[in-house]
Structure 1
Amino acid sequence: MDYRGKKKIFFYGVGGVLLGFITVILIFREFFPEYVGEAIYSWAAIAILIAALKEMSKRKKS
């Protein structure tokens, strides 16, 4: 895969995480305002976990 393909996948991944983050914040602000902080922390933890799993799978292949 060339550099442009990797760059495109990276930006789609970052865009997806940001879009999901914003969606979670908006939904929790509307329906569960007392849990917004916990939602932000859990979403960040999920994003970090996914990134770590991808990095581990890369290292396992090489």
Structure 2
Amino acid sequence: MTTHAWRKSSYCQEGEACVHISTDPDGVHLTDSDAAQTIVTVTPAAFTALLDHLKSL
């Protein structure tokens, strides 16, 4: 089992309505809780493209 060092987004609403992010050489891992039952993993390039798109909105 992989252990992730989760970092909470600085753009959180009250409570636990936050995105948590963990990175390693293979990808960027995203979840909605530091208890991380469901994890979405993307490549660093895909994550960069997502951030670029969101910033353009």
Q: TM-score, structure 2 length as denominator? A: 0.31
More helix by share: 1
More strand by share: 2
Q: TM-score, structure 1 length as denominator? A: 0.29
